[in-house]
Amino acid sequence: MKRLLAMCVALGLFCGLALSVAPSAEAKTVIKIAGMKPEGEPETVGMHKFGEYLEKLSNGKYEVKVYPNSQLGKEDSYIDQTRRGTIQMCATGTQMSKFHPAMAMLETPMLYEDLDHAHRAMQGDTFKLITDGFTEKSGMRTMNVFPLGFRHFYTKKPVKSIDDIKGLKMRVPNIPLYTNFAKEAGISGQPMPFAEVMTSIESGAIDGGDSPLSDIASTGVYEYAPEVTKTGHILVLHSLFINDKFYKSLPEQDRKWFDQAAAQAAEDVWKLMVQADEDAAKKITAGKGHISEPTPELKKYMTEAGERSWTLFTDPKSKQHVPNAKEILESAKRYAK
């Protein structure tokens, strides 16, 4: 009898212990996702949308915590955190070309006629050809792709002719794609983080830079360099990335939720892009900014510079050589109207 009593006590203790350590059926898994842009910009909207969709599809199994505006550090830092699995996901763009040069081809200068052309190419083979092999090299997986807008110049003085652009000291992101394009366009590219742009304009270290309208509006850089020339030379395309080991550890059904949430979020951003550009343009012109179209000569000059810059990827001697660069370019062209 004594032995039976002892067994019951032991069983009771075991069950109690098991109940206290096992996660409850309702326990949420927190997904941390880092990005660089402020609230309200397309990248941050995309991260929030992903969170909403994932929480809904998984019936609350996953809770997505969004850290925009470099809250978890600058891009290199949060990319590294995603690779190591400290956080699960992040949003960024051609910075990923340091692992896989083809990722820079997402933003190949002067490749797309318009947003719809890029959208078709990204929904089709061009995106697959660019991202093929990325996961093996980086330990991260590309979940989707969405636009942040075409890049336009912002300068202190108006850019009316080709001569106005030659020799300008312009901030560029520190990515070979950008430094190379500036060289081809006869611009003196000054690689620096965006955070340094305003003080560098004030000190005269640079004459301006290039960004999508949403960045120009949200940062207020048009107050320092009010002349915006709509050259639209590069379409910024960002993606949500996930730690591959984490993704592979998920049950199959959960992976489908992640895929679906990312795809739906990206589609939402493609849809809102035109409106986002219009809103940004209104904000710029309501402030001290002035937006103008480039002359046909300047547009042609930029197109030719853009096309020359493609040798960065096609030349086998280039450090950024992409073995399937020609296939990528031909694929993108097939999606034109």
Q: Which residues bind ligand G3P (CB under 6 A)?
A: 93-94, 107, 173, 194, 211, 236
Question: 261: helix, coil or strand?
Answer: helix
Nearer residue to ligand G3P within complex by CB, 144 or 211: 211
What six digits make up the tokens of 66?
């969004």
CB nearer to ligand G3P: give 159 or 216. Answer: 216
Distance in Å, CB of 218 to ligand G3P, minimum: 11
Nearer to ligand G3P, 172 or 242 (CB): 172
In angstroms, the CA 309 to CA 177 distance is: 8
* 248's tokens: 């592979």
62 vs 154, which CB is nearer to ligand G3P? 154
Q: How far is CA 33 from CA 47, 183, 327, in A?
A: 7, 35, 33
Q: What separation in angstroms does the CA of 61 have from each of 46, 49, 98, 257?
A: 20, 16, 34, 11
Transcribe 159-190 into DSSP letters.
--SHHHHTT-EEEE-SSHHHHHHHHHTT-EEE
DSSP per residue, 2-20 = HHHHHHHHHHHHHHHHHHH
Instruction: Decide whether 93 or 101 has the Cβ nearer to ligand G3P.
Output: 93
Closest distance to ligand G3P from the beta carbon of 56 (Å): 29
Residue 93 or 109: the one with the smaller Cβ distance to ligand G3P is 93
What's the min distance (Å) between Cβ of 270 and ligand G3P? Answer: 16
Query: What's the closest the beta carbon of residue 94 comes to ligand G3P, in angstroms?
Result: 4
User: Residue 156 CB, nearest distance to ligand G3P (Å)?
Assistant: 18
Determine the residue with CB nearest ligand G3P: 93
Closest CA to 294 of 286, 303, 285: 303
CA distance 269 to 147: 7
Q: How far is the CB of 43 from ligand G3P (least distance, A)?
A: 8
